[in-house]
A and B are shown apart, each in its own frame.
Chain A
Amino acid sequence: MISLTDIRKSFGAVAAVDGVSLDIAPNEFLALLGASGCGKTTLLRVLAGFETPDAGRVMIAGQDVTSTPPHKRPVNLMFQSYALFPHMTVAQNVAFGLKQDGLRGAELTARVQDALALVEMDTLALRRPDQLSGGQQQRVALARCIAKQPKVLLLDEPMAALDRALRERTRLELMSLRKRLGISFVIVTHDQEDAMTMADRVAVMDKGKIVQVASAREVYERPASRLVASFFGEANIWDGVAAHGRVDCPALGAAVAVLSGLPAPGVSVAVSVRPERITISAETLSGDNVLQDAVIEDVVYLGTVTTYLVRVPGDAIVRVTRQNDAHQSFARGNVVSLAWPADAVVVLAA
């Protein structure tokens, strides 16, 4: 549906997008994820047509739209600030885009009605945007975009202005919308939960480049780089030196057994282990990787899980999360053992 080839865009000396190639399938939900300033919004604006790339090609639905102005592209962008026209009612906002297509009369009314009904805003059609709550404004902005029946819907940080409960509800609604509409979604977000719950694929961006494109599960379990590992979820990352079947980590005071991905012995690498893959116990554990005589430094209770910050003999702090149950919990100062399987370890470039 969308094909980006080697897109580059600089603002002055800063390369906001630095050679991005990406294909988005019809009916795919893609999340562009990254810290602020990584170029994800610029890439979205290139797709919408607000920025002309310095180099590269943008294809949408088989047509080269690299230099096509925004009003002639079959995509619609929902702005982070929603950008609802303040001098128009909800219905007029939704009708605006349809009128540009020459729709009038009963057909126009019906399409506006349908779009508003889809986001359950049909009862507030005559309000002005400043009489709506943030969540309602977002629904109107969404209705305004989907009324145009675009081939691709672009969403710029759609959850940024919503509270937690509303976010979860909106995520579910976006997913059901996508099922019903059968169009591609590209969402820009810095929130990994957005990406995990909604996206078929996640493209992680850093410094204008895409560093990994894969399913959320793959990105989480097999991060391609140190940055991806630390940005997408929590991770314990330790520097070390590769050896045969293991990585020697001075900070842990131990070697970490590894199944795959090792470079030649002697090469500096880093290893990453997700906190929930580490077992914590008062008894002596056995397994691929075991650290004895660790001391709990801090306990963070988070409802469903508890995070323990544990100091190990090599003086590193290891982050461990454990599902809360009625049986056992640990307190600050407890001496514990930690263990994790070799398949939980991901080897990263140093």
Chain B
Amino acid sequence: MRSARTINFILAAGLLFLYVPTLVVIVTSFNDSRLAGVWTGFSVRWYGELMSDRQFLGAAANSLIIAAGAATLATALGTCAGLVLARVNRFRLRTALLGLLTIPLVLPEIVTGLSLLLLFVAVEQTFGWPSGRGLGTVMVAHATLAMTYVTYAVQARAVGTARQYEEAAADLGAPPLNVLTAVTLPMLLPAIGAGWLLAFVMSLDDLVIASFTSGPQSTTLPMAVFSSVRLGVSPKVNALATLLVVLSAACLALAAWLQTRRGGKLIPT
């Protein structure tokens, strides 16, 4: 009894520690006052001001374009990698592929960002493309990192899905490409969708890599927020943060739902 209470207390304290700052931002975003510490009444005026701020709106558009593009690219590559890892048990460089996929997760973002910047510059000097940094370079940079999430989501689902469905399809006369499009991919769709959402959120939230790989016309939302905060926190930023929290949470909840639906696994095994 006592230990259960202690554990619940520790859990509650931990959750408070993690989420009180976010709660403060959300509550403050509805504060009428310009000063964070003084509550003068409920208001949505900061949301209104946010909506008329061209700089933030432009950055938000950039972020959404980059996130959608990066997530799509990452999903295409990650689905291939996840399928290969799940269905081909032995091939040369399998261990190398697994390792290379894990590295982006453990590498400091600042290193990833810097190395990608150097790469883009080198490629531009050699091939003349990409000319400068912009939406495209950030998209590619985010896709390389986000691909790992998609790979793991797809691999976990594919390992958990019996191979018999694919064999049954082949037995019924389907050549390999039809097996892939009619059976394998539809059955993996929840994992692919979840992977896309995870990649989307990852790209939306990233500041460091975007700072290295973006150009003057491709400021993302986190970059805009970060630079505006250095000139003093405007309550508009609180409103923006609240919207981002809601969007990210919705994406993650949808991804979790997709992955656990119909016997899927949230955690790769």
Task: Answer yes or no: do A and B interact.
Answer: yes
Is A250 an interface position by the 8 A CB rule?
Answer: no
The answer to whether B175 and A85 touch across the interface, beta carbons within 8 angstroms, is: no
Contact of B165 (CB < 8 Å), options: A70, A83, A97:
A83
Contact of A79 (CB < 8 Å), options: B167, B186, B187, B262:
B167
Is B168 an interface position by the 8 A CB rule?
Answer: yes
In whole Å, how far is B40's beta carbon from the nearest beta carbon of chain A?
55
One digit per residue, 1 when the CB lies within 8 angstroms of any chain B CB and 0 when it does not, for chain A 218-235 equals: 000000000000000000
Is A76 an interface position by the 8 A CB rule?
Answer: yes
* A75 to B170 alpha-carbon distance, docked (Å): 11
Q: Which residues of B contact A84 (CB under 8 A)?
A: 168
One digit per residue, 1 when the CB lies within 8 angstroms of any chain B CB and 0 when it does not, for chain A 48-85 equals: 11100000000000000000011110011101010111
The answer to whether B167 and A83 touch across the interface, beta carbons within 8 angstroms, is: yes
* A84 to B167 alpha-carbon distance, docked (Å): 11
The answer to whether A76 and B172 touch across the interface, beta carbons within 8 angstroms, is: yes
Is A107 an interface position by the 8 A CB rule?
Answer: no
The answer to whether B262 and A86 touch across the interface, beta carbons within 8 angstroms, is: yes
Q: Which residues of B contact A76 (CB under 8 A)?
A: 171-172
DSSP class of B's interface residues: helix, strand, loop or mixed? helix
In whole Å, how far is B248's beta carbon from the nearest beta carbon of chain A?
29
Is A164 an interface position by the 8 A CB rule?
Answer: no
Contact of A96 (CB < 8 Å), options: B167, B175, B182, B262:
B182
Is B244 an interface position by the 8 A CB rule?
Answer: no
Question: A83-B165, A85-B168, A86-B262 given as contacts; is B174 within 8 A of A71 (CB)?
Answer: yes
Instruction: Mark out the residues of chain B between 118 and 133 whose CB falls within 8 Å of any chain A CB in the assembled complex.
Output: none
| Contact-residue bracket for chain B | 10 to 19
Number of A-B contacts (CB under 8 A): 62
Q: Which residues of A contact B171 (CB under 8 A)?
A: 48-50, 70-71, 75-77
Is B20 an interface position by the 8 A CB rule?
Answer: no
The closest CB in chain A to the CB of B189 belongs to A87
In whole Å, how far is A148's beta carbon from the nearest beta carbon of chain B?
6
Is B178 an interface position by the 8 A CB rule?
Answer: yes
The closest CB in chain A to the CB of B161 belongs to A86
Question: A50-B167, A96-B182 given as contacts; is B173 within 8 A of A87 (CB)?
Answer: no
- Other A-B pairs, 19, CB within 8 Å; known A81-B164, A86-B165: A48-B171, A71-B172, A71-B173, A71-B175, A76-B171, A77-B167, A83-B162, A83-B165, A84-B168, A85-B183, A85-B187, A86-B262, A87-B187, A96-B172, A97-B173, A97-B174, A100-B173, A100-B174, A100-B178
Q: What are 21 A-B residue pairs whose CB atoms fall within 8 Å in the complex?
A: A49-B171, A50-B170, A70-B167, A71-B170, A71-B171, A71-B172, A75-B171, A79-B164, A79-B167, A79-B168, A81-B162, A81-B164, A83-B165, A85-B183, A87-B186, A96-B169, A100-B172, A100-B174, A100-B175, A101-B173, A144-B172
What 4 A-B pairs come out closest when comparing CB atoms?
A97-B172, A100-B173, A83-B168, A83-B164
Could you tell me which B residues sit within 8 Å of A by CB distance?
162, 164-165, 167-176, 178, 182-183, 186-187, 262
